């Protein structure tokens, strides 16, 4: 039996409890989740690729083991469908927080279907308690010294606090 591989892309700057919920639930449909961190020269990430990769690997290791699956982390700077193909994925995994996400994502599905008809896309809606979380808002809360552990794991909160402490 061949391994079912799913590709979950984003900036993960930082990874949130919402992202982790999607990865955990992805194991219901795939055996291996490849987390693709989009790296764009025009966008300046707050956390380095290495930090984001380390945090994702750290926070997903136990859930992958419990699911009998695997998580790997890669970087990419081109089209998601090309990165998914390069990872051997047959499925692109997308998390939805609400209707506005659905409208944007459904356009992307249409474009991706034209570019790569052999790669399917599946939507997983965020768990209700996690739908309000976004990396952008987490960064803003971190920059203002707010409490983060309702939105990110402790390891991520620590990394964000360290980042802002260095900037002070």
Residue with tokens 């692109």: 92
List CB contacts of 54: < 8 A, sequence separation 6 or more.
none
pLDDT tens digits for 124-167? 998 989 989 999 999 999 999 999 999 999 999 999 999 988 87
Helices 135-143 and 154-167 pack at an angle, to 10 degrees, of 50
Share of the chain above pLDDT 70, in %: 98
Q: Options 3.90.850.10, 3.40.50.1260, 3.40.50.620, 3.40.50.720; which CATH number does 5-167 get?
A: 3.40.50.620
pLDDT tens digits for 28-66? 999 999 999 998 767 789 999 999 999 999 999 999 999
Taking residues 92-114, report their average pLDDT: 88
Alpha carbons within 13 angstroms on the beta-carbon side of residue 16 total: 25
pLDDT tens digits for 10-28? 999 999 999 999 999 999 9
**Active-site residue list:** 19, 43, 97, 135
The reported pLDDT for the residue numbered 104 is: 84
pLDDT, mean over the chain:
93
The reported pLDDT for the residue numbered 1 is: 60
Phi, psi (rounded to 5 degrees) for 162:
-65, -40
């Amino acid at each position: 039996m061949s391994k079912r591989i799913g590709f979950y892309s984003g900036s993960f700057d930082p990874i949130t409890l919402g992202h982790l919920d999607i990865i955990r639930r992805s194991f219901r449909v795939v055996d291996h989740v490849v987390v693709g961190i989009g790296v764009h020269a025009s966008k300046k990430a707050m956390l380095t690729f290495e930090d984001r990769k380390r945090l994702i690997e750290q926070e997903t290791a136990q859930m992958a083991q419990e699911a009998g699956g695997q998580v790997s982390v890669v970087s990419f700077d081109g089209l998601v469908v090309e990165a998914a193909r390069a990872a051997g994925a047959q499925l692109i995994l997308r998390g939805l927080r609400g209707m506005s996400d659905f409208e944007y994502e459904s356009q992307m599905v249409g474009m991706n279907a034209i570019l790569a008809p052999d790669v399917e896309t599946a939507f997983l809606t965020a768990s209700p308690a996690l739908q309000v979380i976004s990396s952008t808002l987490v960064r803003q809360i971190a920059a203002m010294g707010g409490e983060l552990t309702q939105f990110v794991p402790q390891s991520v909160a620590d990394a964000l606090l360290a980042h802002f402490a260095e900037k002070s």
